[in-house]
Structure 1
Amino acid sequence: MTTTTAERLPHGRRLSRRAWLPVLVGLAIAPGSRAEITFTPSVSLRETWSDNVSLAPSGLERSNFITELAPAFSVAANNKRVQLAANYQFQKFFYSNKDAPNLRDSSSEAQANLKANIVDELLFLDAVASRGQQAVSAFGPLADAPYTTNNRTDVSTWRISPYLTHRFGSFASMQARYTRDSVKSGRDGFGNSQGQSVDVSLADAGARRIGWNLAYARQGLKDAVGGDSSSSNVQAGLSWRVLSPLTLTATAGYDEFDYDSIGGSTRGKSWNVGYHYAPSARTSLSMSYGHRYFGKSRSLSAVHRSRQATWNISYDESVTTSRSQFLLPAAVDTASMLNNLFTPNYPDPELRRKAVEAYMRTAGLPSTLPNNINYLSNRYMLQQQFSASVGITGVRTLLLLSLYDTRRNALSLQQVDSPLLGSNLTNLNDNTRQRGVGANLSYRLSSRANAFMQLDASHSTSLSTGIEQDNRSLRLGVNRQFQRRLNSTLELRRLQGSADAAGRSFTENSISATLSMTL
């Protein structure tokens, strides 16, 4: 028999009850759908020595020994009606030098994802929730150092979305979706917000040579700092299948936003033309070019999968916000990429899911590639983002490479960011550019041991102020499985970069040893 108890988290770190909606709904549906529910508790103990535990500027470093105790659990269910995957980890830190500034007593991370088929061919439900640390600014330490508050804050999100589908014979298919979501942070000046949206689409149902589609979307936001705002979009599209693998597309529509603009219109007509080329189930290429109220609108998406490699290339121009990127990041899902790479060796979906989770946990991989692009802002912005990634597997190796180039131009007034940036840096986020590369390499030493390396480099520029900053990180480690449920990891880490927007730099060297047990 398994007994669970609830522990009160430290003030300011309690998870929103709604953040557990995906898990609660999934557990409620699973028994009726005869889904097998898997609950896996675990605990890890880590000892770390750091020569700059707070990532402080040069001359202000404090060395420290950190003892970390981290209980965790995961919940999973998978059948034709319910797909649920959730995990939670609580980290408690103990320091040999308690006088060092900007340190956390504890931290927590959570992710939950639910897809449910409630009524066959009619009613479905999607729900996601997350909690984790995020960068406050693009100009400061960007490394994932869980024990420091330097340029870090906790961000919690949840989104629940029921939707209906209906097929009108061979004429058309319809989908109507309603979404509620929330984004909260522990940082003063960033507006906690809630949103609700409606999306309705109607498209031809047959595999005709000439296709059509209609779509309408509307979103309303309530932001504690930025105030209320809304957006809507309506569009109609046509498609022409010229050849079996090649389809030409064209859309026309109208966008309308009501944010407080810096200048220029916030609404207008839109159009684009493009094509979709899919010569096989493993390869696809989509491109489009058009115009929206803010100017040119271009997009690119290319995917190729083989037995030993997965390639992703994308480019997109869109109006977005920091909260939107926290809810639906414009990046490659790391677990999805690994899922494709692990399929030949793990045909069973459940075993493959566990293998992916174990690999990401051991190698310290982020949930998305690239990572740490997003930062806190209450403004609407035009985002132009290019990203590329590849995952390659060998007999003993697994290599993940990624690069990105992101440009953000603010569209709404800078006053809403004054509580975040202060009076001296109000235009810091007016026009930013972030570029970076990352490499993750794992080498299997034996059936029970692996060596890994993680290298990241990024460059951030505020084109409106001239401020430029670089960040570098290198992690080297070895992990070994002693028993089926007992693992250990030894890791060396070096961080180097900008400590703040004033241009001061920092370095950190650390070594850690971890013992993890699945209960």
Structure 2
Amino acid sequence: MLLLMLPALASPADWSVTPTVRLRESYTDNLGLAPAGSERGQFITEVSPGVMISTSGPRLQLSLVYTLQKVFYTHQPDRSNQQLDAHGHCELLADWLYIDARAGIAQRNVSAFGPQLLDPALSNSNTSTVRTQAISPYLRHYFSGLATAVLRYDYQHVGSGGLLDVRSNALTLQLTGDNGGRGWNWDLNLQRTEMDDAALAPVTLSNAALTLNYPFNSSLGAFATAGYEKQDYHSLSAQPQGKYGWLGAAWTPSPRTRLSASLGHRYFGKTYSLDASYRLRSMLWTLNYSEDITTTHGEFLSVSPTGLSDFLFELWATRIPDPQLRLKTIQVFLTISQMMGSQGNVNFFSHRYYLQKQARLSGVYSTPRSALALHLATSGRTGQTTNAIDSVLLGPDQLQLTDRTRQTSIQAGWNWRMSARGNLTIGASHSRAKSLTTGREDRNSAVTVGLTRQLSSRISASADVRHVHHTSNAGSHYRENGIGASLIVSF
């Protein structure tokens, strides 16, 4: 609701409000993703009204996409889903007071093991609707010759029925020094977060850090961070508090190439990070590696990298001049080419704190009429708190399943612009989830082919086919094939 209130707090701007209706008829030969011999085929009818709202003015930026999906089945009760992706930024008082806000509703996989969600119209016991909200008012001001100060309050909430209900309140003070671009610079960050998980006792996280930066020249610089952190969750190993620090360097030989790396030490051991990107006129590559303590709700609220979509939006400006049509084409392309999720791996439900180590490699190559995208990801999680708190999610006989996990995935997509109004997109993905404590290993493969056609400025049609294959050394193998056709009308 806050996102819809932001316009009243900002100066007038150009608005785009587009109501839509999506009609879809499809057939699946395995609606519940059941094991071989228990498959059940059904026809599915979907009616999905929605709205897209956007504006980008000097004091207000807002993007909101909402869909209400009504699903009708031939042999079981109807049901409804909602999808929401909204984010906004508003300058309330020039050069002083700002506010950021985000909200989302989406169907997510509960576990990385078992049937995996590919189409929200399918039904299985391993999915749940996740609702996220975040609001962050902050004061920012530049004190000439001294520093830029930011005082920020963050409220976040993640809920999913009786499975997740987590709220957090955080207060952050950041001071960034102003030395006029001469020699050393500094950054001071103070943060305190109070976490309230309905399944746990409240947790307080405190952090204080000082970072020094030194530019050797216009393309090479070094930085060093020292700080102290304290987290009062009940850890199974090292006490989650203590001094920490790391050293790093950043190299930017040109506007198209960037490389930043660091190494250091925290209470859980050595830690490393890497952030690199390489861009040519028609190609973009990004490589990232990080290690951190994380939670399920924290990952749901993390901001996903947008490099590929931003790159394609700029690159396809001449290929698809209409910005709305261009955005929809990119969304379809990335959805099909990243079929297992934007990160490739599953953010499974848990009330635990984890040490997560993850790496991602993404790339896209585009020509005037085609584009090829590739995404590789690997992530490992090690539980830092007792698994007993997940008994409601996993059951008492599966508590060790997520003590130590490793997920890997590869996704590829190819888009071909057949004409000024038609596009063909082919996507393929393969992922593996392994429990390093129990030895269970699940594999998922999917292939999707989609054809879209812009019939007029307000009407588009699409058709798609897919094949999904799931195997597990714990049994419950399944296959699913689906075919569907859609008509989208914009008003």
TM-score exceeds 0.5: yes
Give the equivalent residue in structure 2 for 1:482.
Answer: 455
1:165 maps to 2:140: yes
1:518 maps to 2:490: yes
* Paired residue type of 2:143: F
Q: Does the 8 A contact of 1:369 with 1:389 survive in 2? A: no
Return the alpha-carbon distance in structure 2 between the equivalents of residues 283 and 120 of structure 1: 34
* Paired residue type of 1:41: P
Give the equivalent residue in structure 2 for 1:154.
Answer: 129
The structural deviation recorded for 1:304 is 2.2
Question: Partner of 2:35: helix, strand, or coil?
Answer: coil
The structural deviation recorded for 1:353 is 5.9
Give the equivalent residue in structure 2 for 1:85.
Answer: 63
What pairs with 1:104-503 in structure 2 (closer than 5 Å)? 105-147=79-121, 148-186=123-161, 188=162, 190-205=163-178, 206-329=180-303, 331-333=304-306, 336-346=307-317, 352=323, 355-361=326-332, 364-365=335-336, 369-498=342-471, 502-503=474-475
The structural deviation recorded for 1:143 is 3.4
The structural deviation recorded for 1:273 is 0.2
Q: Deviations over 1:236-269 (max 9, x none)?
A: 1111111211011111111111111112211111
Q: Does the 8 A contact of 1:249 with 1:274 survive in 2? A: yes
Identity among equivalent pairs (%): 33
* Paired residue type of 1:35: A
Q: Which moved more, 1:190-199 or 1:457-466?
A: 190-199
Return the alpha-carbon distance in structure 2 between the equivalents of residues 393 and 28 of structure 1: 41
Return the alpha-carbon distance in structure 1 between the equivalents of residues 84 and 225 of structure 2: 39
Question: Partner of 2:113: helix, strand, or coil?
Answer: coil
Structure 2 unaligned regions, length at least 5:
none
Question: Partner of 2:237: helix, strand, or coil?
Answer: coil
1:74 maps to 2:48: no
Return the alpha-carbon distance in structure 2 between the equivalents of residues 465 and 378 of structure 1: 20
Return the alpha-carbon distance in structure 1 between the equivalents of residues 459 and 320 of structure 2: 23
Return the alpha-carbon distance in structure 2 between the equivalents of residues 344 and 473 of structure 1: 28
Q: Deviations over 1:68-118 (max 9, x none)?
A: 1111111111111011000101111111122xxxx8611110010101111
Change in Cα spacing, 1:348 to 1:48, as seen in structure 2 (3 Å) is: closer
The structural deviation recorded for 1:357 is 3.4
* 4+ aligned runs moved over 6 Å, structure 1: 347-350
Return the alpha-carbon distance in structure 2 between the equivalents of residues 347 and 243 of structure 1: 37
The structural deviation recorded for 1:364 is 3.4
1:57 maps to 2:57: no
Structure 1 unaligned regions, length at least 5:
1-19
Q: Does the 8 A contact of 1:141 with 1:498 survive in 2? A: no
Give the equivalent residue in structure 1 for 2:19.
Answer: 41
Return the alpha-carbon distance in structure 2 between the equivalents of residues 436 and 143 of structure 1: 15
Number of equivalences: 487
Question: Partner of 2:399: helix, strand, or coil?
Answer: coil
Return the alpha-carbon distance in structure 2 between the equivalents of residues 363 and 221 of structure 1: 34
Q: Does the 8 A contact of 1:56 with 1:506 survive in 2? A: yes
Return the alpha-carbon distance in structure 2 between the equivalents of residues 353 and 27 of structure 1: 21
The structural deviation recorded for 1:363 is 6.1
Return the alpha-carbon distance in structure 2 between the equivalents of residues 483 and 350 of structure 1: 15
Question: Partner of 2:202: helix, strand, or coil?
Answer: strand
Q: Deviations over 1:421-458 (max 9, x none)?
A: 11100111100000001112110111111111111110
Q: Does the 8 A contact of 1:339 with 1:353 survive in 2? A: no
Question: Partner of 1:360: helix, strand, or coil?
Answer: helix
What's the C-alpha RMSD, in Å, of the aligned pairs?
2.0
Give the equivalent residue in structure 1 for 2:9.
Answer: 29
The structural deviation recorded for 1:56 is 1.0
Change in Cα spacing, 1:363 to 1:233, as seen in structure 2 (3 Å) is: closer
Q: Which moved more, 1:481-490 or 1:357-366?
A: 357-366
Q: Does the 8 A contact of 1:129 with 1:159 survive in 2? A: yes
Return the alpha-carbon distance in structure 1 between the equivalents of residues 177 and 34 of structure 2: 59
Return the alpha-carbon distance in structure 2 between the equivalents of residues 360 and 387 of structure 1: 20
Return the alpha-carbon distance in structure 1 between the equivalents of residues 47 and 474 of structure 2: 35
* Paired residue type of 2:32: S
The structural deviation recorded for 1:348 is 13
The structural deviation recorded for 1:342 is 2.5
The structural deviation recorded for 1:490 is 1.1
The structural deviation recorded for 1:477 is 1.9
